[in-house]
Structure 1
Amino acid sequence: MTNLQALFWPKSIALVGASPDKQIIRGRLVEAIGQHPYPGRVYAVSRSHRKINGLACFESIDALPAGVDLAIITIPAEFVPAALEACGDKGIGAAIVISSGFAEEKGDQGSDRQQQLAEIAAHHGIALIGPNAEGFLNTKLNLAATFSPTVSDVEGGLRPAGLNTGGVAVISQSGGIGFSFFHRGRPKALHFSFIVTTGNEATLDVLDMADYLIEDDGTEVILMFVEGVRSPARLLPLAAKAARAGKPIVVAKVGQSEAAADAVTSHTASLAGSSQAYEAVFRHAGIIRGIDSDHMIDVAGAFVYFRDRLPRGHRVGILTPSGGAGAWFADLCEAHGLHVPMLDARTRARIDPLLPEYGTSRNPVDVTAQVIFKVGYAPVLEIMAESDVLDAILVSGSLAHPTYIERDLEQLVKLAEAVDKPVIFCAYTRAHPRAVELLAQAGFPCLTSMPNAARAIAAMADYRAFSESSATTIEVLPEERIRLTGPALDQSVYTEYEAKQHFDAWGIRCPEGSLTRSSAEAAAAAERLGGTVVAKVQSPDIPHKTEAG
């Protein structure tokens, strides 16, 4: 795709509208880039200053040295088209327009400006993100091309040290939400490869970004926050491509309520589209529906640690030093489609000698605090991992202090290398940062939400089943057959005939039918349709036909 390499891996950057004032967006952007060891060259374009944060300033884009890859534009909206044109004339291959004042505003002026940007970018072959975007983050390049405060003073740096996991890429039409994933996920020792915010999407959109990042070697899971998409037909081929690469996509699609749909339109000028139709496409394509940012982060964490060891089914073992936590976790697992089977006799016979009389090896396996104090989690986990009746293991314990994780780190490292099924830790206390860090280095994700831990296992099991049965055979419908912005659903009950009209509007194939109101019309319809036909009463007052005789 045109110049996406220049966009995501620039060797030099020009900050158009740079400022030394850290209280405004233009100054915060300069600070964010300078705070991390980005290895490329950075130039500032400003008529008001000669130097900003040690950067020499150029009075115009024309005055910049040759060979700039990326321009980040933060000047007032009315001057942006001319600046983008100057970038094209200078041979700059990519641009991010942070400035607002385009199609998200009421009236034609902003929309006209945005159309100008699209035409300029197309004419010069510029890879354009925005306008009204919050920039992006490439952690491998240590490039924080954003004004988001979430990338400033990050403890431990942009990438966690000592991890062997792949990265999580975030693609969001909302800048604030996009970087919130990083801010909430980084303390969980999650490695993010990219955070990309697309704003109004004058040219490139979230699907373009996903298409590129599926091919990124450093990305293993993609999280997307979507308000609406221009070309819904592209979802299926994109999902098929991701499935073939073994890279799960988790999507939060907002705009289900009337208030949310209105907010979407005013925020990034997107059309929300039919929530039900998106749901149908997600299920068909193996896309995981995101509930909220914490759920998506936890699902991503489970996948990146155990992407190559997905559960073979929905049978889960629970290990805990707390009987109450075990019972609570078992209820939650069952509620989210998992099964908590009794452990087999052979496995129980191996666990029982390790337990005090008041412990139990049934499942949940309540080892009691005494066992954790004496031998830790690893010995029992190793035995449970070898059981043929379990597809995954959840560990629910207190991680308020890292003592026992530190003591047993070597055993946990060996266990993580040996197990062939996912093992997820979930703290029922607040998780100590050091405990999270050590578990991550050992090879285990550490969550703090029991429901999310259950959902993560269920998502992994479902994704494996999808991959083994459907991933390479996703039916991709022609562009004209998929229209996720079809008629609104404004009734609580639809007849079969009415429902099929909606399915047809969304591009979902249904058997042909005809609505008739007399025996003569029915006979004529049967002759026209040919073959064997059935007659069904159509009434919203009779949803279950068997009840009417």
Structure 2
Amino acid sequence: MTEPNGLSTLLNPKSIAVVGASDDVSRIRGKLLRTLLLAGFTGDVHPVNPSHARVQGLTAYPDLHAIGQQVDLVMVGVPAASVMAVLEDAAAIGAGAAIVHSAAEPDPQVPGGTLVADIAAFVARTGMRVLGPNAEGIWNVLDRVGANFAPVLDPAVMVQEPVDDRTDRISIVSQSGALGFALYAQGVQNGLAFRHVVTTGNEADIETLEVVDHLVAAGDSAAIVLFLEGLDRPDRFASVAASAADAGVPLIVMKVGSSEAGARAAVSHTAHLAGSDTAYDALFERYGVLRVADPEELMAVAGVLSARREPAGTNVAIITTTGGAGGWASDLCGEAGLAVPPLGDDLRAELAGVVPSYGSTANPVDVTAAAIEGAGENLVTILEAVDRDPDLHAAIVMLNMISPDRVARLEPFLRPLLERIRIPVVFHSPSPPAPENVRALGAMGAPYAGIRGAAKGIAAAVRYRRFRDRWVRPVPAPPGAGGDLAALLARHGVPTPPEAVVHDADGAVAVAQEHGYPVALKVVSPDLPHKTEAGALALGLADAGEVRAAHDRILASARAYDPAARIDGVLVQRMMPPGRELVVGMVRDPDFGPLLMLGFGGVYVDVLRDVAFAPAPVSAADAQRMVDRLRGAAILRGIRGEAGSDVDALVRLLVAVSSIIEDAGPGLRELDLNPVIVYPEGCVAVDTLAVFTPAAEEETG
């Protein structure tokens, strides 16, 4: 990434001014300077306080102009009413970046509006980059830039991780300052190594995705952890996530809250089923972003992924000193989608030379405490044997680490093994581990986690390996050409039943006789998107008399249901034989653009809610993964003697609908094909609905 974005100045300044610096370290203004000094920053530090000549032992200056030297980064710890004046001074002396730690709530003393709006206008005018307001700050671990007031960096609270040449360092980007540094503290306690912690606050200027993009380009983060409440620039997400995928840098996200970017329409089933987080989940799936549920899982996944050993499959060997703990781990592995298979005879025979007779060479491997006493030769022998077995893809080692020197005694044998081993190995202690053991494991590149976290971490690594194996950067869609629904369906080869629109009963009978009985009749109206509710639909009509009667009946029902409804005629459609009913659709998310949906159900789609979403456009491989993500995917392949459905035809239809979305362009707001009937050979879209803008009129068929 090139320097003009200013983030290098923010993250790696050579000189820092702390405006509002105080001797009172119980206040944020005092904590800012104290943390910076305790962190070991080696550049120039300039406290700014007009009331004191010295602050915390350093020469203080009345304002930024009085410093008389280059200042790269300005930390702003003054009240909100004074922030803009400080920023103006910072720009005047040529500072490259600032962190506004002051709160961003509206303040009547701030002229011109809220602090966020004022900072945004200032950045647009001056080009200086600003983190915050309401930002806890940053922590550049290797360069010791502790530009924050986080208490977790205080040596009295926790031991800071050492600076070394580890290549498994993790970066944290968090919209919450407190949580961002809490995740860092938890990670350090788990023996993980970190490169950056960046908390973005209210994001008047520098926002989450820009930081992520910068860190990916920098190339020194083995994984990037994100805590998200929402995105100010969601349109950038696909590009940033694609860059991370290209670089092989896993993005691990804990997201809370709901998108408030805009209300979704509820005309189509697709729009009704697209919840507030649907777009995020669909984009995460497309770009290999790993979503986690809680901080423990987040740190476990980050630990396994940052070790840069991606398991080739789901088979896990569990090595334990107690059988009960091994059974517990097996259950949690199963919940995470992993397998704990029986070991092969050759491997069991090899392990029998190390495992006592009262242990077990099955899987879990109960080595007993006796097998790993001493300097660790036996544990290394066991792990080497597991690593050589191509049918095993990861290992969980469970041993009691309550004794502070337990790992230190194993290290002479364990470290060389962990440097050359093929599979990821995650360690766990059934009893609370001594911190020394966890840190020693981390220094050897061996993640430590709770049992549930270990299983989820390995499962996430499997998912990321599979994503990397299939990753191809999507090709941007061309501008849409637009068009009415029937023309779009025909142009892209979406199979539909024989049908025609008529304007009287005689016309309905003529079309029915031409296409063949039985037929369905549907009132065509942009104001009646759901025909069943309005009584505007008749099915299974077998002769001319039934067609005539149904024609007049459904028109009367439609007019009674909504006297103001526009009626454009009656669609006569050949009835299709029964098959497996699905729904295919699209809703245009206000943040992320068009989302393609596939689901089970026909009229029951809103009840079953077995659906999969993906951002359009989709390839055939993307479409196949949508099918595979359905809970009822096995039904399509055929169960209990039933014939399987033509999944290939369904995949082609999904790709065709994706092409329709591209062709129609942004004017197509919603699309529903419900039902799509899939047969053992072929499929057909029976009922269709489209909502176009700006006219926002529905087209149905």
Structure-2 change in CA distance of 1:174 and 1:443 (3 Å): closer
Q: Is the 8 A contact 1:171 1:223 kept in 2?
A: yes
The equivalent residue for 1:534 is 685
1:60 lines up with 2:52 in the alignment: no
The equivalent residue for 1:323 is 323
Aligned mates of 2:478, 2:99 — CA distance in 1: 32
The equivalent residue for 1:176 is 178
The equivalent residue for 1:433 is 435
Structure 1 position 389, deviation (Å): 1.1
Structure 1 position 425, deviation (Å): 0.8
The equivalent residue for 1:9 is 12
What secondary structure sits across from 1:408 in the alignment? helix
1:252 to 254, 263, 275: 254
1:121 lines up with 2:123 in the alignment: yes
Q: Is the 8 A contact 1:102 1:110 kept in 2?
A: no
Structure 1 position 120, deviation (Å): 1.2
Aligned mates of 1:189, 1:254 — CA distance in 2: 26
Aligned mates of 2:115, 2:602 — CA distance in 1: 43
What secondary structure sits across from 2:60 in the alignment? strand
Structure 1 position 55, deviation (Å): 1.7
The equivalent residue for 1:83 is 86
Counterpart residue identity of residue 117, structure 1: I
Aligned mates of 2:11, 2:83 — CA distance in 1: 21
Q: Is the 8 A contact 1:482 1:506 kept in 2?
A: no
1:27-83 deviation digits (Å, cap 9, x = unpaired) = 111111111321110111111111101221111222222311011111111111121
1:83-117 deviation digits (Å, cap 9, x = unpaired) = 111211111110000001346x8999795332221
Structure-2 change in CA distance of 1:426 and 1:479 (3 Å): farther
Structure-2 change in CA distance of 1:136 and 1:403 (3 Å): closer
1:483 to 590, 600, 614: 590
Q: Is the 8 A contact 1:139 1:158 kept in 2?
A: no
The equivalent residue for 1:467 is 468
Q: Is the 8 A contact 2:78 2:102 kept in 1?
A: yes
What secondary structure sits across from 1:436 in the alignment? helix
The structure whose RCO (Cα within 8 Å, separation 6+) is larger is 1
- Count how many residue pairs are aligned between Structure 1 and Structure 2: 502
Q: Is the 8 A contact 2:193 2:442 kept in 1?
A: no
The equivalent residue for 2:579 is none
Q: Is the 8 A contact 1:310 1:421 kept in 2?
A: yes
Structure 1 position 478, deviation (Å): 8.9
1:101 to 99, 104, 108: 104
Q: Is the 8 A contact 2:212 2:224 kept in 1?
A: yes
The equivalent residue for 2:241 is 239
Q: Is the 8 A contact 2:230 2:258 kept in 1?
A: no
1:314-336 deviation digits (Å, cap 9, x = unpaired) = 11111111111111111110110
Structure-2 change in CA distance of 1:22 and 1:337 (3 Å): same
Q: Is the 8 A contact 2:22 2:29 kept in 1?
A: yes
Counterpart residue identity of residue 366, structure 1: D
TM-score after normalising by structure 1 = 0.84
Aligned mates of 1:73, 1:403 — CA distance in 2: 45
The equivalent residue for 2:230 is 228
Counterpart residue identity of residue 171, structure 2: A
Aligned mates of 1:178, 1:324 — CA distance in 2: 36
Structure 1 position 373, deviation (Å): 2.4
The equivalent residue for 1:345 is 345
Within-5 A mapping of 1:264-283: 274-283=276-285
Structure 1 position 536, deviation (Å): 4.7
Aligned mates of 2:372, 2:360 — CA distance in 1: 14
Q: Is the 8 A contact 2:152 2:182 kept in 1?
A: yes
1:148-173 deviation digits (Å, cap 9, x = unpaired) = 11111168853336663331111111
Counterpart residue identity of residue 246, structure 1: G
Structure 1 position 257, deviation (Å): 10
Aligned mates of 2:425, 2:614 — CA distance in 1: 44
1:274-300 deviation digits (Å, cap 9, x = unpaired) = 212211111111000021122111111
Structure 1 position 180, deviation (Å): 0.4
Aligned mates of 2:213, 2:173 — CA distance in 1: 11
The equivalent residue for 2:33 is 30
Aligned mates of 1:106, 1:537 — CA distance in 2: 54
The equivalent residue for 1:452 is 453
What secondary structure sits across from 1:389 in the alignment? coil
The equivalent residue for 1:158 is 160
Q: Which has the larger radius of gyration?
A: 2
Q: Is the 8 A contact 1:7 1:94 kept in 2?
A: yes
Counterpart residue identity of residue 23, structure 1: S
Q: Is the 8 A contact 2:304 2:426 kept in 1?
A: yes
Structure 1 position 9, deviation (Å): 0.8
RMSD: 3.4
Q: Is the 8 A contact 2:46 2:58 kept in 1?
A: yes
Structure-2 change in CA distance of 1:478 and 1:152 (3 Å): farther
Within-5 A mapping of 1:35-50: 35-50=38-53
1:382-432 deviation digits (Å, cap 9, x = unpaired) = 111111110111111211114443333211012112211111111111111
TM-score after normalising by structure 2 = 0.66
Aligned mates of 1:245, 1:55 — CA distance in 2: 43
Percent identical residues:
34
Aligned mates of 1:422, 1:437 — CA distance in 2: 18
Aligned mates of 2:305, 2:80 — CA distance in 1: 41
Q: Is the 8 A contact 2:333 2:339 kept in 1?
A: yes
Q: Is the 8 A contact 1:222 1:248 kept in 2?
A: yes
Q: Is the 8 A contact 1:139 1:194 kept in 2?
A: yes
Q: Is the 8 A contact 2:286 2:614 kept in 1?
A: no
Structure 1 position 494, deviation (Å): 9.7
Structure-2 change in CA distance of 1:13 and 1:132 (3 Å): same
Runs of 5+ in structure 2 lacking a partner? 261-274, 481-587, 595-600, 619-653, 661-669, 676-681, 690-701
Within-5 A mapping of 1:373-522: 373=373, 376-447=378-449, 449-470=450-471, 472-474=472-474, 483-484=590-591, 511=657
Within-5 A mapping of 1:208-219: 208-219=210-221
Structure 1 position 252, deviation (Å): 0.9
What secondary structure sits across from 1:300 in the alignment? helix
What secondary structure sits across from 1:313 in the alignment? coil
Structure-2 change in CA distance of 1:86 and 1:442 (3 Å): closer
Aligned mates of 1:125, 1:477 — CA distance in 2: 33
Structure-2 change in CA distance of 1:112 and 1:12 (3 Å): same
What secondary structure sits across from 2:198 in the alignment? strand
